[in-house]
Amino acid sequence: MPNAPTLKAELTSLIFTKNEADKIKIFAYIKGAKEIASVMGTATHLSLFANKNTKNIVLERSEVIVYEQILINQAVGLDWYSVSASQNYLPVGHEFSPLLIGITDHVAEFFKNNGFAFDQKDINKIPDKAIRQFNRSWFSRYSANKYNRQIVGLDPIYADRIKSCCQTAFLSFRQRLFMKRTDGIFRIYTIFGFSFKVRRKVK
């Protein structure tokens, strides 16, 4: 599949079509495919129309297990791979939730083992802008009475994830240029993107 042509734009328009002829066209694409790759969602379920032993790569967008897709994979007899691409540092649902996906350790390992090209610098990287957008969307959704019960009893692990992911997302431009933080016996300074550490004087 590396370097294979994709039909992303055409398939995206076809998936949401109301035209019966276009829907048949989708099934024909899936039926003729030797390999399918998708982010978990409606398009993934189209693998129901694939041939037996078709390679089906599913990038998981959350920690929610979609048992319906597992049933499809097994019933059709697909050669299926479930790879976690979720970078959500807060709990999210499968539907209508803000989502962060990217090259996680799992995705990187899968890419390496299957000959996909990618930039090592992108592993586990989440742009600060994406973090700010995710936070706005997440708090907007889960502050609503309809959904806030879903986050009752939030696991402490999410506090650690927030600290790890959000430590630079809300800094001012000046703070980004000149940063100072403590790591054990060292004080770490970052100036214009370059970091160095100095041993602290411990009383």
Three-state DSSP class for residue 4: coil
Q: Give strand ranges (E) for 61-193.
A: 79-84, 178-183, 186-191
**Residues 55, 1: contact at Cβ < 8 Å?**
yes
| Pairing status of strand 79-84 against strand 55-60 | parallel
Cβ-count burial of 88 within 10 angstroms (0-12 exposed, 13-18 middle, 19+ buried)? buried
Sheet holding 186-191, edge to edge: 178-183, 186-191, 194-199
| Pairing status of strand 178-183 against strand 35-39 | unpaired
Q: In the chain, what are the domain boundaries? A: 8-154
- Tokens in use for 96? 């209508």
pTM equals: 0.67
pLDDT tens-place values along the chain, 203 residues long: 444 444 444 555 555 556 666 667 778 888 888 999 999 988 899 899 999 999 999 999 998 889 999 999 999 999 999 999 999 988 888 777 889 999 999 999 999 999 999 999 999 988 888 888 888 888 888 777 777 776 666 676 776 777 677 766 665 555 555 556 666 666 666 665 566 566 766 65
DSSP 94: S
